[in-house]
Amino acid sequence: MSRRAAAPAAPAAYRARFIERIAEVDAADWNALAAGAAPFLSHEFLEALESSGCVSTARGWAPQHLLLEEADGRLAGAMPLYLKAHSRGEFVFDFAWAEAYHRHGLRYYPKLLCAVPFTPVAGGRLLVGAGAPGEAVRAALIGAARARLESLGLSSLHVLFAEGEDLAALGRAGLIERRDCQFHWHNRGYGSFEEFLSSFTAEKRKKAKRERRRVAEAGITFDTRHGGEIDAPLWARLYGFYADTFHRHGHEPYLDLGFFRRIAQALPERMMVKIARRGSEPIAVAIFFVGDQALYGRYWGSEGAYHSLHFETCYYQGIEYCIERGLARFEPGTQGEHKVPRGFVPSLTHSAHWIADPRFAAAIRDFAAREAIGVERYAAAVGEHVPYHRTDEELGL
């Protein structure tokens, strides 16, 4: 079997170093690389995952964060990296690839993963320092990650939810691109929720108003709090709602109560919580994170079934918050065509994959190309059902 050329080493100007805890790098240095990104790439978020034990070798997430340092020790670039013993908590599904390896008597796990654990949000993956040559640093990061893969004899490298210049650099390095579809809301300068609804067709607007009315008629109100405004007893109550969402499907939650308490303390203004109440009693929760330009819906749970409560708590309340704060975009999570009638539109996401075995690489590249065509067709088809008024131009008239 022919072998591929060895991965290029980092240029002499840089030194690649791998660390097993994010705490081993200065928070200010890391955050300078991730400036302007979503909160999930922050040192505080990654550290809360690790210090709570939600991300650990025991749970199949062994941190291998890559630091790219200049000769004087300054940080030029970085990648959030993990040795993964499974494919859970990633939201880019490669279980079939792992099964194919197993059928051929080959080992797929552990694999090398560049991602934010349990977080299907696109953002920077090849982090570059201010003033550093972006193309050179990105190439050096990819080369160092591939060299690590080869030195450990791993099957593959996966870079999830990459975008922009990172995605282009990964393509130049020969990684295989995959595509998927999420549903995002975009703020068109709405002055109020009513103005937002006025952009809907009459039928869809009537349905949205009926859903909101049903929640209000059930006597449910909403309390908006940021992370620093939630005490320990309330956290325990809200966490029970979140955990029950997993338990009802026979799974253990990815995150524990300690994580939520840590991240609320570390990023108090970046965490926003919508608490649904009947009277004074909490009955449901949606936990969001607030970026500079976008709101991210992440976790949900309730004590029981209430008509339209999920739509109101997770979607309409988030849209209202965006309008009030002037946020440009709302990403409520993965999947879910049910988001489309409520104002969310298809948005493509991307990941990139390096497969060490040339035979599997060729088959996966062919699969990814065919999959991409299907994803784009799906996004276009779903896009025909958005609730907004269409102009003649948009209708092709």
Pair type for strands 61-63 and 81-84 = antiparallel
Using an 8 Å Cβ cutoff, are 111 and 140 in contact?
Answer: no
Q: Are residues 220 and 71 in the same domain?
A: no
Better pLDDT: 248 or 53: 53
Whether 24 is in a domain gets the answer yes
Side chain identity, residue 126: L
The whole-angstrom separation of Cα 266 and Cα 1 is 51
Per-residue pLDDT band at 215 (split at 50, 70, 90): very high
Q: Does an H or E element contain 302, and which? A: strand 294-302
Check whether residue 51 and residue 94 sit in a common domain: yes
For residue 224, pLDDT over 70 is answered with: yes
pLDDT tens per residue, range 285-316: 999 999 999 999 999 999 988 999 999 999 99
Q: Considering only residues 81 and 392, tell me which one the structure prediction assigns the higher pLDDT.
A: 81
In a domain, 50, yes or no: yes
* Mean pLDDT, range 94-102, rounded to an integer: 98
pLDDT band at 1, cuts 50/70/90? Answer: very low
Q: Which two tokens stand for residue 328?
A: 């440009």
Q: What region does 164 belong to: left with phi over 0, alpha with psi -120 to 50, or beta? A: left
Give the strand order in the sheet containing 127-128: 14-19, 65-70, 75-79, 127-128
Span 242-264, pLDDT tens digits: 999 999 889 999 999 999 999 99
- The pLDDT value recorded for residue 3 is 42
| Residue 392 located in a structural domain | no
10 confidence band (pLDDT: 50, 70, 90): low
Helices 232-247 and 257-266 pack at an angle, to 10 degrees, of 130
Mean pLDDT value across residues 79-101: 97
68 found inside a domain: yes
Phi first, then psi: give them for residue 382, nearest 5 degrees.
-65, -35
| CATH code for position 156 | 3.40.630.30
- Single-letter amino acid code for the residue at 156: S
Q: How far apart are CA 218 and CA 221, in angstroms?
A: 9
Is 171 found in the same domain as 198? no
pLDDT higher than threshold 50 for residue 172:
yes
The helix (H) or strand (E) run that includes residue 127 is strand 127-128
pLDDT-derived band at 11 (thresholds 50, 70, 90) equals: low
Q: Tokens standing for 107? A: 């080992």
User: Taking each helix axis from N to C terminus, what angle separates 134-152 and 164-172, rounded to the nearest 10 degrees?
Assistant: 60
Same domain? For 170 and 222 the reply is no
- pLDDT at residue 397 greater than cutoff 60: no
Residue 143 falls inside a structural domain: yes
Query: To the nearest whole number, what is the mean pLDDT of the chain?
Result: 94
Q: Would you say 383 and 123 are in contact if contact means Cβ atoms under 8 Å apart?
A: no
pLDDT of residue 280: 93
* Alpha helices per DSSP H over the chain: 27-33, 43-51, 95-103, 134-152, 164-172, 193-197, 202-217, 232-247, 257-266, 309-311, 317-325, 358-383, 392-395
Residues 164 and 229 in one domain: no
Q: What is the pLDDT of residue 249?
A: 86
Summarize pLDDT for 14-43 with one digit per residue, the tens: 999 999 999 999 999 999 999 888 899 999
**What percent of the chain clears pLDDT 90, i.e. is strictly above it?**
90
**Host domain of residue 289:** 188-327
Statement to judge: residues 29 and 175 lie in one domain: yes
Q: Under a CB-based contact definition with an 8 Å cutoff, are residues 343 and 387 in contact?
A: yes
Question: Which residue type, as a one-letter code, is found at position 329?
Answer: R
Is residue 258 located within the same domain as residue 356? no
Q: How many residues does the chain have?
A: 397
How crowded is residue 248: how many other Cβ atoms within 10 Å of its Cβ?
Answer: 9
- On whether residue 3 sits in a domain, the answer given is no
- The confidence score (pLDDT) of residue 336 equals 86
- Tally helices (H) and strands (E) across the chain: 13, 15
Q: Say what the pLDDT of residue 38 is.
A: 86
Cα distance between residue 70 and residue 47, in whole Å: 24
Is the domain of 21 the same as that of 165? yes
One domain, residues 31 and 154: yes
Q: What is the pLDDT of residue 391?
A: 56
Same domain, 119 and 211: no
Contacts of 79 (CB under 8 A, 6+ apart): 65, 66, 114, 125, 126, 127, 141, 145
Looking at the fold, whether 119 and 240 belong to one and the same domain comes out as no
**How many independent structural domains does the chain possess?**
2
Angle made by CA atoms 276, 279, 280, in degrees to the nearest 5: 75
Number of C-beta neighbours around residue 228 at 10 A: 11
Q: Write down the pLDDT at residue 7.
A: 57
- Take residue 48 and report the two structure tokens written for it: 């809360």
- Please give the full DSSP string across 192-237, using - where no structure is assigned: SHHHHHTTB-HHHHHHHHHHHHHHHHTTEEEEEEEGGG--HHHHHH
Select the more confidently predicted residue: 251 or 220.
Answer: 220
More confident residue, 360 or 6: 360
Q: Is the pTM of this model over 0.85?
A: yes
Mean pLDDT, range 127-154, rounded to an integer: 96
In a domain, 397, yes or no: no
Asked if residue 253 and residue 177 are part of one domain, the reply reads no
What residues pair up with 368 in beta bridges, in sequence order?
none
Q: Which amino acid is at 30?
A: W
pLDDT reported for residue 12 = 60
In-domain check, residue 41:
yes
